[in-house]
Amino acid sequence: MLIRRKKSWEIREVLATPEAVFLDRRRFLAGTGAAAGLIASAPLRSALGAQDGDPSAGLYPVKRNPAYTLERPVTPEQINSTYNNFYEFGSYKQISKAAQSLVIRPWEVRIDGEVEKELTLGIDELLARMPLEERLYRLRCVEAWSMTIPWSGFAFKALVDLARPLSAARYVRMETFYNPKMARGQRQSWYPWPYVEGVTMAEATNDLAFLVTGAYGKPAAKQYGAPLRLALPWKYGFKSIKSIVRFTFTSKRPVNFWQQVAGREYGFWANVNPEVPHPRWSQATERVLGTNERIPTRLFNGYGEQVADMYAGMKGEKLYM
């Protein structure tokens, strides 16, 4: 994101799906009218193998919510699972192998701060209590690449309801695990670990805010931020914090990881806007991983209808960085 000045959306040749293979898959998906469930078909599953032994495997695939489908083809799992930002395991894209050292059981999630009753619960208990569904979402990274992903999970609002926040709660602060023994990237002490993100209560309860537990019809691969990560498709990808262990309801606006690292380049809001360039590059277009097409970026990543109202009249806020 920050340090490497080369075009970070460029993927190594070896990782790109040959066009013919990709187009064939598109035709196949178009023909069946399905995407995610089929992409999780047996040959791919064994090729990627990342979720073997996950105790939540029996919960997937979950039912697709038809309100969240897209005109773009789903990014092949092989591409998505080998091109990730997860600085806990290295500050480059090919962290998928290193991320397999992430231990996802036991995994406790703490809900605290301005809530009726603070609460700690295991991920499997949380999964059992939440209404799981599948949604197709776009993801637009601040580095100007994008993907389309079949996420499984539950509406953030369901977790807010479980937490029963007090009226003093104005933001939700989220935190990733901290364990430098397990995650070698966390030994890089110049980063302000643990990774932190924050949203307003309005954002957390917006219909689009989604807590991800699975992808491609099975439990989320570790490199996606298993066992619990956020998906905010109208914001730059860095807001979608991975491997969350804590939700704190608070009256104070959290300062997120990238704001702490480079506050002149990354802000709290980070809403996608093609007309507001990053200080070091344009945000007008994006490179679609899988096809390498370059397409125009849309305001709020195309989700303006669902989210623009939340930002109306917010003068003086840097809404797009």
Q: Toward ligand MTE, which CB reaches closer, 165 or 297?
A: 297
Burial classification of residue 299, based on how many CB atoms lie within 10 Å of its CB (0-12 exposed, 13-18 middle, 19 or more buried): middle
Select from 85, 146, 206, 259 the one that contacts ligand MTE (CB under 6 A). 85
Q: Toward ligand MTE, which CB reaches closer, 165 or 245?
A: 245
# chain residues binding ligand MTE, by CB under 6 A: 18
Q: Rule CB under 6 A: which of 190-229 touch ligand MTE?
A: 195, 224-225
Q: Which long-range contacts (CB under 8 A, 24 or more apart) does 162-166 make?
A: 162/111, 162/119, 162/129, 162/130, 163/111, 163/115, 163/119, 163/247, 163/249, 164/115, 164/116, 164/117, 165/114, 165/115, 165/116, 165/201, 165/249, 166/114, 166/115, 166/116, 166/249
Binding segment toward ligand MTE, per CB under 6 A, in 20-28, 68-76, 79-87, 298-306:
79-87
User: Shortest CA distance to 137 belongs to which of 11, 56, 224, 54?
Assistant: 224
Q: Toward ligand MTE, which CB reaches closer, 114 or 286?
A: 286
Q: Toward ligand MTE, which CB reaches closer, 127 or 147?
A: 147
Q: What is the DSSP letter of 301?
A: G
Q: Toward ligand MTE, which CB reaches closer, 173 or 242?
A: 242
Contact predicate 138/72, CB 8 Å: yes
Binding segment toward ligand MTE, per CB under 6 A, in 30-38, 99-107, 233-241, 265-273:
233-241
Select from 238, 300, 303, 311 the one that contacts ligand MTE (CB under 6 A). 238
Q: Is 84 in the site for ligand MTE (CB under 6 A)?
A: yes
Q: Toward ligand MTE, which CB reaches closer, 169 or 183?
A: 183
Tokens standing for residue 103: 């231990």
Helix (H, G, I), strand (E, B) or coil at 159: helix
CA separation for the pair 42, 46 (Å, rounded): 6
Q: Is 77 in the site for ligand MTE (CB under 6 A)?
A: no
Select from 176, 213, 250, 291 the one that contacts ligand MTE (CB under 6 A). 176
Q: Is 237 in the site for ligand MTE (CB under 6 A)?
A: yes
Count of C-beta atoms within a 10 Å radius of residue 205: 18
The beta-strand segments (E) located in the chain are 108-113, 119-122, 133-140, 145-155, 171-176, 196-200, 210-215, 218-219, 229-231, 244-250, 285-288, 294-296
Q: Toward ligand MTE, which CB reaches closer, 82 or 205?
A: 82
Q: Is 301 in the site for ligand MTE (CB under 6 A)?
A: no
Q: Is 60 in the site for ligand MTE (CB under 6 A)?
A: no
Q: Rule CB under 6 A: which of 239-298 touch ligand MTE?
A: 240-243
Q: Which residues of the chain form contacts with ligand MTE (CB under 6 A)?
A: 1, 84-88, 139, 141, 176, 195, 224-225, 237-238, 240-243
